[in-house]
């Protein structure tokens, strides 16, 4: 199995280091069969939507794209050695118990966030044209 040709470049010294890390992880996942090369090739041919604003606006838009899904559960962990597992279990149970109280609001917020990102992307496309 051969590694696909590079389809992107990351600028700067940090970018080269990050690219090396990404390529090493991808090669390892190819070897384990976790990543399908055909899927990678399909995604690589897709059109990339980019944000062509100043750096601050670009970072804000990127964060919006990453955090639009407000109901994604964060992992519950504890650094306490003795009571940590018990605390984690109680917190997980409480989250499941209270989930029904917030489900409707989070669902509406997630839908709003997603639609807002679609509108923003469309506005960016129109401005680019």
Closest by CA to 26, choosing from 50, 47, 5, is 5
Is pTM beyond 0.75? Reply is no
Within 13 Å, how many C-alpha atoms sit on residue 102's CB side? 13
Average pLDDT, the chain: 78
- The Cα 86–Cα 90 span in angstroms is 6
Question: What was the pLDDT predicted at 85?
Answer: 92
Q: What is the pLDDT of residues 68-122, one digit of tens each?
A: 776 677 788 888 888 999 999 999 999 888 888 888 888 888 888 888 888 887 8
93, 44 contact by CB (below 8 A): no
pLDDT of residue 50: 63
The secondary structure of residue 78, as a DSSP letter, is -
Residue 76 CB coordination number (10 Å): 13
pLDDT attached to residue 86 = 93
The pLDDT, as a whole number, for residue 65 is 74
What's the confidence (pLDDT) of residue 87? 93
Beta-carbon contacts of residue 120 (< 8 Å; ≥ 6 apart): 61, 64
* pLDDT tens digit sequence for 29-46: 888 888 888 888 888 887
């Amino acid at each position: 199995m051969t590694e696909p040709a590079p389809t992107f470049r990351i600028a700067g010294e940090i970018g080269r280091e990050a690219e090396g890390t990404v390529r090493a992880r991808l090669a390892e996942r190819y070897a384990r069969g976790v990543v399908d090369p055909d899927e990678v090739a399909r995604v690589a041919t897709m059109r990339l939507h980019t944000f062509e604003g100043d750096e601050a606006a670009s970072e804000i838009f990127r964060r919006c794209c990453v955090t639009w899904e407000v109901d994604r559960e964060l992992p519950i962990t504890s650094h306490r050695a003795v009571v940590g597992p018990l605390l984690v279990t109680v917190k997980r149970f409480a989250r499941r118990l209270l989930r029904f109280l917030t489900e409707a609001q989070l669902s509406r917020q997630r839908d709003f966030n997603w639609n807002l990102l679609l509108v923003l992307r469309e506005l960016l496309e129109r401005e680019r044209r």
